[in-house]
Amino acid sequence: MDVKKVRKDFPILDQKTHGKPLVYLDSAATSQKPTSVIEALSLYYETMNANIHRGIYALSEEATQAFESTRKKVAQFIGAKEERSIVFTNNTTEAINLVAASWGRKNVKAGDEILLTQMEHHSNIVPWQLLAQEQGARLKYIPITSEGELDLSSLDSLLSDRTKILAVTHMSNVLGTINPIKKLIAKAHAKGILVLVDGAQAIPHFKIDVTDLDCDFYAFSAHKMLGPTGVGVLYGKPHILESIPPFLGGGEMILEVHEEYSTWKPLPYKFEAGTPNIGSVIAFAKAIEYLEKIGMDEIRAHEKAITRHALLVLQELEGITIFGPKDVEVKGGVVSFALADIHPHDLGQLLDQEGIAIRAGHHCAQPLMRVLNVAATARASFYLYTTIEEVDFLAETLKKARRYFYRGF
């Protein structure tokens, strides 16, 4: 992959921060957008701004067709057999909340168990906590090893007769760990347990096939995979989605409304109440097209090379602790670390002065921080536009940071 050529498609990468060239190493939080996505968003508002599914005039019909073509493209991109299995939400968080509320309230009862892992993002913890508190259910967690991988030695006992669902991240936003999702799904299904996969960190970086995985639900966001913010996707097996009530009520999701009751539209519209983020959904199609043009295998190969180099140069720094797997075969483009006893926020501010954007904090994973016995970490995350030179500049700047905090310049 020609990274220099790729970078020309991302106008924001040409700008400077504090007079220094921008080194963007926070793609796990949100990715940058190529020109084709930016132009598609602008084009919608300039040429076809109208509400969808309702108007019988040309502008509305054009917008509706563009919106629904994105649904088809998403289904093809993730290997879904049916377009009606693709529900648009505002983000991954809402997609998981939809499952917890609509499926959970119907199927999880007092005494039942919900199985999570210690590396989950808050978005895949809090909705289940709320459900468990409401229904009288119990949360259980798969632990992690010292290497930052799931400890599956007790999985058979954790998947008990009371377990109703396993909700698990495909790739950790802190550790970069790529979990053996297909194995977990097979184990759960053998006991009649459903599986929801939080794919927000995985789907931008390698090929996902929900049919091959056989997951019951798969949730992700457009903004982490070159698309606009405000667009999430929930994939659900159609027979499951058909069996559960709507998440939100209001316009567009109804078939008929009477004074005392209402009926619902068929999938997926039953779960898409109100006016959606039309322009961003339409622009999301361009993000998928861009990823397909580059090739997901090419993107994965590039990120493995970048991550391998990052681990090599960062582990040479005196006083550094790197969290998570060191094997890039089971690790995505994320490196979380601590440098001596420098607080990650201080480190992040100093790096910002040199034009380097990283994330510092608990990364919406406070239970994992407690397992790691730290309050926060610094995190550098990579994508298809990250270069080896940027990683080397990060390492050199961290050396300067250590000298600054301990000995001065």
Write the DSSP symbol of residue 209: -
Residue among 376, 295, 373 at smallest CA distance from 336: 376
Q: Find the catalytic residue in 350, 364, 374, 375.
A: 364
Q: Which residues contact 181 (CB under 8 A, 6 or more apart)?
A: 168, 170, 197, 213, 215
Is residue 209 within 8 Å of 76, Cβ to Cβ?
no
Burial of 325 (0-12, 13-18, 19+ CB in 10 A): buried
Phi/psi-derived region of residue 324, left when phi > 0, alpha when psi is between -120 and 50, beta in every other case = left
Spatial separation of the C-alpha atoms in residues 223 and 213, rounded to whole Å: 23
Q: ∠ CA(307), CA(291), CA(172), 5° rounding?
A: 40
Is residue 358 within 8 Å of 374, Cβ to Cβ?
no
Q: Which residue has tokens 């300067």?
A: 400
Spatial separation of the C-alpha atoms in residues 197 and 121, rounded to whole Å: 12
Residue type, 206: F
Element (DSSP H or E) covering residue 36: helix 35-47
Q: How far apart are the first and last CA of the chain?
A: 39
SS3 16: strand
Q: At what angle do helices 344-353 and 388-406 cross, to 10 degrees?
A: 120
Centre a 10 Å sphere on the Cβ of residue 328 and count the other Cβ atoms it contains: 20
Q: Active site includes 364?
A: yes
For residue 116, report the phi and psi dihedrals to the nearest 5 degrees.
Answer: -120, -170
SS3 content of the chain, % helix, strand, coil (to 5): 45, 20, 40
- Cα 8 to its chain centre, rounded Å, is 25
The set of catalytic residues is: 364
